[in-house]
Amino acid sequence: MARLIVRGGRRLSGTYTAPGNKNAALPMLAAAVLTDEPVVLRNVPDIEDVRSMLAILDALGADVRLQGHTAVVCAKGLRKRAIPRELCSRVRSSILLAGPLAARHGMATLSPPGGDVIGRRRLDTHFDGLRRLGIQASGTDRFVFRRGRLRGARILLDEASVTATENIVMAAVLADGVSTVYNAACEPHVQELCHLLNAMGARISGMGANLLRIEGVSRLGGADARIGPDYIDAGSFLAAAALTGGALTVRNIPEHVFEVLARPFGKLGIVWKTEGATLTLPAGQRLKVRNDFGAAIPKIEDGIWPGFPSDLMSVAIVAATQAAGATLFFEKLFESRMVFVDRLIDMGARIVQCDPHRVIVTGPAPLRATAMTSPDIRAGMAMILAALVARGESVIENAHSIDRGYERVERRLRRLGADIRRAP
């Protein structure tokens, strides 16, 4: 295990380019098992979760090549249908192989997926949707998915789950007839997966809305696609620059995505401007909470797209510790997302935790350095941000958890002026 050592008080400024979207890369890699032809993915982020997903595909017998940020996967030689338990435990996205593996190869066996422990992450929506298509699931400690007759179906999801939507769509593209998926997730990475599948020969319409229509085809071919920028990574670095008083220029960003982030960040006084595909965050921003109408305490809550992403909730809470005023945060999706706020309180943050889903943050509060342990990807990044503004030297243990979702985070922060280093 590695640790990160951060000395606060340095201003972060410069030009930043977001790596490929982690949440798009993982399902797009899973989609490669739907064809015998090569699938080429460019701008793949160099993170632990991607390497774990490639290891799973390799263990199944696919030909896997990774050169720089380009991955090539050919499942023509795929021989196995069971994913080793240890590989399943590494990454949440192992569940994404259930639908495509069963649909294309008749069967899939896997253990409960790993990933961040941020609360109960139910799989019922996956099982129910796949069953409607003709894929039966059984088992508790070890899941077995078996394909019967794969037929299109009308599917109403009981929650707008991103991974369940992706799993069901990847199975439905090979089903006989037409499938409609209601209450589908419409996050940018779900749209990217659908565009890749269409490039492979699928017939999916409705991307960007919560109703998807999938006309099944008999086979899919290969494709060459480029993964879009990771807006969670970009949002984290924008917050880091704003909290330290620096300026940041972000290249090649999808403007419509950052419209979703602009309002919640704006409530904390973090503002930027966009011109085409370039975003500019000015230096020396005055972080001040913007009250709701009638001088009411504002609320920042997460939600399904185009709501504020849960993956940025931890970062926004740290930002609020440095903004003048009070803010209520409502984490609706995961009951353990906010467990890390105890560490912020130890650092001097003024936070009242109302219950597992809500905290009230009052700022600005001077933070002091401390030693802490990262419990998950996003909380780990939030701890880095807190350490960047704290007085003194902080130590963040279990840096490996951050590496699962952020590519070479300490190197990229150092390029912007941070005093951060990695140690065993």
Q: How far apart are CA 86 and CA 253, in angstroms?
A: 36
pLDDT at 120: 52
Do 313 and 344 form a contact (C-beta atoms < 8 A)?
no
The residues pairing with 358 across neighbouring beta strands, listed in sequence order, are: 330, 355
Q: Where are the beta strands (DSSP E) in 8-142?
A: 14-17, 39-42, 63-67, 70-74, 107-110, 135-138
State how far the alpha carbon of 252 is from the alpha carbons of 58, 228, 355, in Å: 32, 9, 39
Q: How far apart are CA 370 and CA 343, in angstroms?
A: 8
Domains 3-19+229-423 and 22-226 share a fold: yes
Q: How far apart are CA 141 and CA 139, in angstroms?
A: 6
Residue indicated by tokens 């077995």: 144
Residues in the chain: 424
Residue indicated by tokens 């699928």: 202
With CA atoms as reference, report the closest residue to 400 among 377, 418, 366: 377
Estimate to the nearest angstrom the gap between the alpha carbon of 71 and the chain centroid: 19
With CA atoms as reference, report the closest residue to 66 among 94, 97, 32: 32
pLDDT at 119: 44
Domain boundaries of the chain, sorted by first residue: 3-19+229-423, 22-226
pLDDT at 399: 95
Q: How far apart are CA 65 and CA 47, in angstroms?
A: 15
* Beta carbons within 8 Å of 332's beta carbon, 6+ residues apart: 301, 302, 303, 357
Q: Give the CATH class of 3-19+229-423.
A: alpha beta
Q: How far apart are CA 279 and CA 164, in angstroms?
A: 32
pLDDT, one tens digit for every residue, the chain (424 residues): 799 999 999 999 999 999 999 999 999 999 999 999 999 999 999 999 999 999 999 999 999 999 999 999 999 989 899 999 999 988 889 999 999 999 999 999 998 887 554 445 678 999 999 999 999 999 888 999 999 999 999 999 999 999 999 999 999 999 999 999 999 999 999 999 999 999 999 999 999 999 999 999 999 999 999 999 999 999 999 999 999 999 999 998 888 889 999 999 999 999 999 998 999 999 999 999 999 999 899 999 999 999 999 999 999 999 999 999 999 999 988 778 898 999 999 999 999 999 999 999 999 999 999 999 999 999 999 999 999 999 999 999 999 999 999 999 999 999 999 999 999 8
pLDDT at 116: 53
Is residue 236 classed as helix, strand or coil in its secondary structure?
A: helix
Residue indicated by tokens 């070479």: 408
Q: Is omega for the bond preceding 364 within 30 degrees of 0, making it cis?
A: yes
**pTM for this prediction:** 0.95
* Beta carbons within 8 Å of 223's beta carbon, 6+ residues apart: 39, 40, 196, 199, 200
Structure tokens at 129: 């949707």
Do 157 and 179 form a contact (C-beta atoms < 8 A)?
no
The residues pairing with 318 across neighbouring beta strands, listed in sequence order, are: none
The DSSP element (H or E) to which 373 belongs, if any, is strand 371-373
What does DSSP assign to residue 406?
S
pLDDT at 118: 45
Structure tokens at 270: 């973090």
Q: State the catalytic residues.
A: 116
- Name the architecture of domain 22-226: Alpha-beta prism (3.65)
pLDDT at 254: 84
Residue indicated by tokens 């001040």: 288
Phi and psi at residue 415, to the nearest 5°: -60, -25
Do 108 and 60 form a contact (C-beta atoms < 8 A)?
no
Q: How far apart are CA 213 and CA 198, in angstroms?
A: 12
